[in-house]
């Protein structure tokens, strides 16, 4: 059983290690001072030593992976375990996203320029689309999904809210990708913020209204 579990984790562990391998490959060619943060226009707004890249990669990949390993074990409802292979797929998607983001940051630090700021929005759009497709299978829990007092109170509200949220995140992610490819970067940022706000706020409001509706129907 332990060997089977380890075999399943090997691909994810490989994704976690990939940015570290890339960083080690570039290490001697990196300048002592490298950019570590860019604004939405792709302009450098913070610098650090090349050692700071180790911390950034660690937080993005190792921290995300360890967190995803721990969550099922500390879930009070033990509902995440019921997701089985679906939770593994979500973990794989999140670690892949963080690994690609880490590789992008390392590459941009080496070149000292963010050659394509819109690429970050494309990656986030892909992440939103992927997670949106998994929302309908996320069981009621305290860690993943749309966690409001009303979704946590009612399993029916949780299910209905995540069906809606799944559609919104999928469409929202697709729009982010399209806008990132056809709209100027300085304008696209505001579309990104607007779409993120909509797909975040609408499910919260919906969960409240649906909870009140169901409660009224039972009274």
Token pair of 179, please?
């806008």
- DSSP per position, 49-91: ETTHHHHHHIIIIIHHHHHHHHHHHH-TT--GGGGTHHHHHHH
Express each pLDDT in 46-94 by its tens digit: 788 889 999 999 999 999 999 999 998 888 878 888 787 899 999 999 9
Q: What is the CA radius of gyration of the chain?
A: 20
Say yes or no to pLDDT of 40 above 80.
Answer: no
Burial of 57 (0-12, 13-18, 19+ CB in 10 A): buried
Cβ proximity of 94 and 68 under 8 Å? yes
Say yes or no to pLDDT of 2 above 70.
Answer: no
What is the pTM for the complete model shown?
0.84
H-assigned helices in 75-154 = 85-111, 118-134, 149-153
Distances (CA, A) of 194 to 67, 175, 188, 203: 29, 11, 10, 15
Express each pLDDT in 97-140 by its tens digit: 999 999 988 988 887 766 566 788 899 999 999 999 999 889 89
Contacts of 46 (CB under 8 A, 6+ apart): 35, 36, 37
Say yes or no to pLDDT of 154 above 90.
Answer: yes
Say yes or no to pLDDT of 33 above 80.
Answer: yes
Mean pLDDT of 25-36: 86
């Amino acid at each position: 059983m332990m060997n089977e579990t380890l075999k399943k984790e090997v691909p994810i562990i490989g994704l976690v290690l990939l940015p570290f391998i890339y960083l080690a490959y570039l290490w001697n060619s990196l300048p002592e001072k490298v950019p570590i943060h860019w604004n939405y226009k792709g302009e450098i707004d913070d610098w650090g030593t090349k050692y700071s890249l180790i911390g950034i990669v660690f937080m993005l990949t190792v921290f995300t992976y360890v967190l995803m390993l721990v969550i099922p074990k500390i879930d009070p409802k033990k509902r995440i375990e019921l997701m089985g292979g679906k939770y593994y797929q979500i973990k794989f998607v999140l670690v892949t996203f963080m690994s690609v983001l880490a590789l992008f940051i390392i590459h941009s630090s080496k070149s000292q320029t963010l050659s394509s700021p819109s690429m970050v929005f494309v990656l986030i759009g892909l992440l939103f689309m992927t997670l949106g497709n998994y929302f309908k299978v996320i069981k009621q829990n305290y860690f993943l999904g749309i966690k409001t007092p009303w979704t946590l109170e009612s399993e029916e509200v949780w299910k209905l809210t995540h069906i809606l949220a799944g559609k919104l995140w999928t469409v929202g992610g697709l729009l982010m990708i399209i806008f990132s490819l056809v709209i100027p970067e300085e304008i696209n940022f505001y579309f990104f913020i607007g779409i993120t706000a909509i797909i975040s706020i609408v499910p919260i409001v919906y969960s409240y209204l649906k909870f009140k509706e169901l409660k009224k129907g039972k009274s």
